[in-house]
Amino acid sequence: MKQLDELNVALEQVLEQLRRIPAEDVQTDNLVSNLHGMVGERQLLLNVLVADTNMTDANYLQRQLALTQDFSKKASIIMADRQALLHASSKNKRQISVYETIDSNR
């Protein structure tokens, strides 16, 4: 349980860093990769915890479920923001391309 609690804190920190830094920051790729690894590790720890017949602390399991939902919500918000940035960038590139084509046809 201690390992899971420490991982939860680390996950929260990575999500907060991703929320704060710009998408163009070189650190972003590493943070996303770390987040992916942490989520996988957390899933394994939760599977072990749920399968443990000696685990009788329902409140702890409920807290983990709430954290899972919170992490998922935060990650979805970050992902949506990044997708919006990519969409805006793509739209801007298309507009520039149109203007370049018009300019070259003069």
- The pTM of this model reads 0.72
CA–CA distance, 14 with 19 (Å, rounded to integer): 9
- In the chain, how many domains are there? 1
Query: What's the pLDDT at 55?
Result: 84
Query: What's the pLDDT at 28?
Result: 87
Query: What's the pLDDT at 23?
Result: 78
Tracing tokens 């807290």 back to the chain, one arrives at 63
Q: Check: CB of residue 28 under 8 Å from CB of residue 21.
A: yes
The residue range of the domain holding 78 is 2-104
* pLDDT beneath 50, residues of the chain: none
Q: Check: CB of residue 47 under 8 Å from CB of residue 68.
A: no
Query: What's the pLDDT at 63?
Result: 95
